[in-house]
Amino acid sequence: MSFQLLCRSSQSAARRGELATLHGTVQTPVFMPVGTQATVKGVLPEQLVELGAEIILANTYHLFLRPGHRRIERLGGLHRFMHWQRPILTDSGGFQIYSLRELATITEEGATFKSHLDGSSQFLGPEEAVAVQEALGSDIMMVLDTCIPYPATRAEARQATELSNRWAARCRKAQRPTGQLLFGIVQGGMYPDLRRMAAEELLAIGFDGYAIGGLSVGEPRAQMYDLAEHSASLLPEDQPRYLMGVGTPEDLVEGVWRGIDMFDCVMPTRNARNGMLFTSFGRIVIKNARYADDERPVDPACSCYTCRHYSRAYLRHLYMAREILAPVLNTVHNLHYFVDLMRRVRQAIEQDRLAAFRRAFYEQRQPETENDG
Amino acid sequence: MSFQLLCRSSQSAARRGELATLHGTVQTPVFMPVGTQATVKGVLPEQLVELGAEIILANTYHLFLRPGHRRIERLGGLHRFMHWQRPILTDSGGFQIYSLRELATITEEGATFKSHLDGSSQFLGPEEAVAVQEALGSDIMMVLDTCIPYPATRAEARQATELSNRWAARCRKAQRPTGQLLFGIVQGGMYPDLRRMAAEELLAIGFDGYAIGGLSVGEPRAQMYDLAEHSASLLPEDQPRYLMGVGTPEDLVEGVWRGIDMFDCVMPTRNARNGMLFTSFGRIVIKNARYADDERPVDPACSCYTCRHYSRAYLRHLYMAREILAPVLNTVHNLHYFVDLMRRVRQAIEQDRLAAFRRAFYEQRQPETENDG
């Protein structure tokens, strides 16, 4: 078994585990920084290690198109290509293809789509998605899935979920014995019974872990939490659970509380580039004039490289002057916040005080007027 | 004396020295990376230290306008603001104001100009230029000068040079006893006798070092070398000589050969952002398709962070994908090349083999067709 459950929260569905992969062991619950194009935007691998990242995510769709998975394979695989020796999870490309909308056609066989780079016609089916991820050499591969619009009728959701499950079976069959892990993805849209059907079918096929897909697509937050909790409850205790594309710091705490082990989201990296910084007391928008003379670090409670060495005034200056170090330093801070939040969450689970941790987490947040909302 | 001459080349006018400043001693000859807006674009201070930079340059004009020198002073000075504890040289803003052309008016009193940021009317005279640099707390300040168009008549060049010298005297007089060094700037355009006049007048005032300004403005390279050599020969042996805004690796070697101790240029940083990389065998343009599958480092002879860990194929991918790490990794490489070239030049002077070094430097360069020219 690649996953080992170390302990459970008595106060919630939270779990503390570790996941063994070809490139090392990951402590869970974990947040995975997103490195779409074989780089976490603006951050060097050594900086990722320093801020505590144990695993990152890369995007199959993007690397398939540029620079090409065969090229990366010839150059020694994704880890060597991007100088990152810790684990990598690759998504399957399903979500990106879905996002192309009218530029993509989904059939039983797979997805035909036009490249967003040059308009060329491309095909990715379940077998191809696995072959691409095997060429990249990621530690955790995801099955190709097809996404469900929000809102969707029950019939639409059922049809898409069934197709995703047939593709999942084909992915499992296509997989070669490389030692890479393959995760299934529970779809089912906003329908709890379809989620149950999806989970049962995927469990019958058998995967190394299970993702919960198709959430955080526009539904109310309470519904997202309910469906994540419901989906997690359908999955085996002794395997990792990954809530895809989620979320805010609050979402991470709530997800862990409901039994999720793995998260990824572009929010810390993307918001950093837009000057929005996460702190223990809420979010701040660094371009705000109030920071022009502020000699304090972004978050006095933070131990990241950025907070150790730079003032809010300097970060504001870099942002206003459109300097490259603005996204660099902001991203280091935001990723540290997310990764460190999960480190503290793990500690709270180990010490079985997650309820108190969660309460303190919310109490620290100041009213929006105080922190730019 | 802040400058100490350690040894001289018997084969050329080259010198090996060290320059003591408030923030430490700089080994000369030296190349100074440009950090216009209180940041060397794309490079962290720790990366600058690792690649061997001993001193950087910052631009008075830019910092005067944004974020403002008084703000930087309140925040503890430029070093603390930008987290750089080694020496900083600030230019005086003269060249940037000159570059504004019709947006600037030069009178005996000083320069009135419109901000390139918001069009606001601003004034900078010799006393103000010194006050700004004192507020910034740089280690080496430059006198405010007025530049000479190229080409210029003898009368134009003479008039501008005389004004620059009057401003230089006012700068020296305005200087407070902060321990910061103040350098004069030898103008004179393309007229050797005006250069002599400028140097003699500046020497009579007396400065901590002397820059050679107004070169590399469009004149033939041979003329630039001749005028740099001529100007250097007019300056005292026991004080540092700084050739402003120059230049290519070849210019650095030729400048040292003619007795120059200090250089700055945006070329390594700006070209890095455009994907042009300097190597021991010439320049390469990383976006060239020939590098798509090239697993070699940029320069197999280079020991920089970028060359130790990344292939040309990866750097090309980052460049094509417009990733932030493209300018970051390219800048680290180019600055290392410039800084390391000067380290090797210093060693060659110490061992009195600069002629052989210079010959080998040129022999290593391959024909343009081989290296993208």
Closest-CA residue of chain B to A65? B321
Q: Which domain holds residue A163?
A: 3-264
Closest-CA residue of chain B to A85? B309
- Round to whole Å and give the CA distance between A146 and A160: 6
A51 interaction partners in chain B (CB closer than 8 Å): none
Pick the catalytic residue: B139, B145, B251, B264? B264
> Tokens 């800084």 — which residue?
B339
Determine whether B238 is an active site residue: no
Task: Tell me: do B278 and B194 sit in the same domain.
Answer: no
What mean pLDDT do residues B207-227 have? 97
Enter the ipTM: 0.97
* Surface-to-core class of residue A353, CB atoms within 10 Å of its CB (0-12 exposed, 13-18 middle, 19+ buried): middle
At A9-52, the pLDDT tens digits run: 999 999 999 999 999 999 999 999 999 999 999 999 999 999 99
What mean pLDDT do residues A94-103 have? 90
CATH number assigned to the domain comprising residue A191 = 3.20.20.105
Interchain CB distance below 8 Å, A67 and B317: yes
**A371 pLDDT above the threshold of 80:** no
Task: Tell me: do A258 and A350 sit in the same domain.
Answer: no
Task: Tell me: do A235 and A362 sit in the same domain.
Answer: no
B295 interaction partners in chain A (CB closer than 8 Å): 75-76
At A105-160, the pLDDT tens digits run: 999 999 999 999 999 999 999 999 999 999 999 999 999 999 999 999 999 999 99
What mean pLDDT do residues B243-271 have? 98
Last residue of a domain, one of B265, B285, B315: B265
| Shortest CA gap B320–chain A (Å) | 9
Task: Tell me: do B233 and B131 sit in the same domain.
Answer: yes
What mean pLDDT do residues A336-350 have? 98
User: For A176, how many CA atoms within 13 A lie in the half-sphere containing its CB?
Assistant: 11
Determine whether B352 is an active site residue: no
- Round to whole Å and give the CA distance between A250 and A363: 12
Touching check for A44 and chain B: CB below 8 Å?
yes
Task: Tell me: do B301 and B353 sit in the same domain.
Answer: yes
Touching check for A81 and chain B: CB below 8 Å?
yes
pLDDT for B370 equals 47
At A172-186, the pLDDT tens digits run: 999 999 999 999 999
- Round to whole Å and give the CA distance between B75 and B82: 10
What mean pLDDT do residues A357-367 have? 91
pLDDT for B93 equals 92
Domains in chain B: how many in total? 2
Residues 6+ apart with CB under 8 A from B191: B154, B157, B158
Secondary structure tally for chain A: helices H, strands E: 16, 16
Interchain CB distance below 8 Å, B41 and A293: no
Last residue of a domain, one of B216, B233, B265: B265
Interchain CB distance below 8 Å, A42 and B314: no
Percent of chain A at pLDDT exceeding 90: 97
pLDDT class for A188, splitting at 50, 70, 90?
very high
Task: Tell me: do A277 and A188 sit in the same domain.
Answer: no
At A58-98, the pLDDT tens digits run: 999 999 999 999 999 999 999 999 999 999 999 999 999 99
- Round to whole Å and give the CA distance between B32 and B207: 20
**A372 pLDDT above the threshold of 60:** no
pLDDT for A1 equals 78
Task: Tell me: do A335 and A188 sit in the same domain.
Answer: no
Nearest residue to A348 (alpha-carbon basis) of A53, A5, A8? A8
Task: Tell me: do B252 and B307 sit in the same domain.
Answer: no
Task: Tell me: do B205 and B117 sit in the same domain.
Answer: yes
pLDDT class for B1, splitting at 50, 70, 90?
confident
> What mean pLDDT value characterizes chain A?
96
B82 interaction partners in chain A (CB closer than 8 Å): 314
Last residue of a domain, one of B265, B287, B302: B265
At B287-306, the pLDDT tens digits run: 999 999 999 999 999 999 99
Task: Tell me: do A256 and A323 sit in the same domain.
Answer: no
* A71: nearest CB among B39, B83, B293: B293
- Round to whole Å and give the CA distance between B337 and B371: 16
Task: Tell me: do A75 and A20 sit in the same domain.
Answer: yes
At B362-372, the pLDDT tens digits run: 999 876 444 54
Task: Tell me: do A65 and A96 sit in the same domain.
Answer: yes
pLDDT class for B102, splitting at 50, 70, 90?
confident
